[in-house]
Amino acid sequence: MKADTQSVLEEVTTYVNNHRKQSTCTEEKTARDGEQVSYSSSKPYLHPIPPLSSDTIIIPHASSFKPPPLFNQFSPVPNKLNPFIVVVDRLCGEAVLRGADVFVRGVWSASAGIARDSRVLLLMDLHRDSQRGCLYADYQGEAICIGQGVALVPRTELVTATHGLGIRVTHRMGPQAPPLNGFLPGRLFPQNLPSLLVGHVLAPLPGSTVIDLCACPGGKATHLATLMRGEGVVVACDRSRKKIKALQTLGETMGLLPSLCPLVLDTTHPVLPPSLRHRRHLPSSHPVAVLATAPKNTDGLPLVPGFYPETFDHVLLDPPCSALGLRPRFSLPVRGQDLDAFVAFQRKFWWAAVFLLRVGGSMTYSTCTLNPQENEEMVRYALDTYSVLQLVPAEPRLGAPGGGKALSDEERGKVQLFLPKGGGREGRREEGKEGDLDVSGFFVAKFVKVASVFEGKEGEAKGTAWQDERNDGDSGWKTGGPQGEEEEG
Residue 472 counted as an annotated binding residue: no
**Residue 368 designated active-site:** yes
DSSP, res 38 = -
Residue 212 counted as an annotated binding residue: no
DSSP string across 254-317: TT-TTTEEEEE--TTS-BPPGGGGGGTTSGGGSHHHHHHHS-B-TTS-B----B-TT-EEEEEE
Question: Are 373 and 338 within 8 A, CB to CB?
Answer: no
The helix (H) or strand (E) run that includes residue 121 is strand 119-125
Burial 233-245 (b: 16+ CB within 10 A, else e): bbbbbbeeeebbe
Residue 318 counted as an annotated binding residue: yes
DSSP, res 49 = S
Q: Are strands 102-103 and 119-125 parallel, antiparallel or unpaired?
A: unpaired
DSSP string across 359-411: EEEEEEEEES---GGGTHHHHHHHHHH-TTEEEE--SS--SBPP-SSSS-HHH
Identity (one letter) of the amino acid at 437? Answer: L
From the list 145, 237, 261, 368, the catalytic residue is 368
Q: Are strands 357-367 and 312-317 parallel, antiparallel or unpaired?
A: parallel
Beta bridge partners of 149: 120, 169
**What are the CA-CA distances from residue 206 to residues 53, 138, 181, 225, 237 (Å)?**
18, 59, 29, 9, 20
Q: Cite the annotated binding site by residue number.
A: 238, 266, 318
Q: Cite the annotated binding site for S-adenosyl-L-methionine by residue number.
A: 238, 266, 318
Please list the active-site residues.
Answer: 368
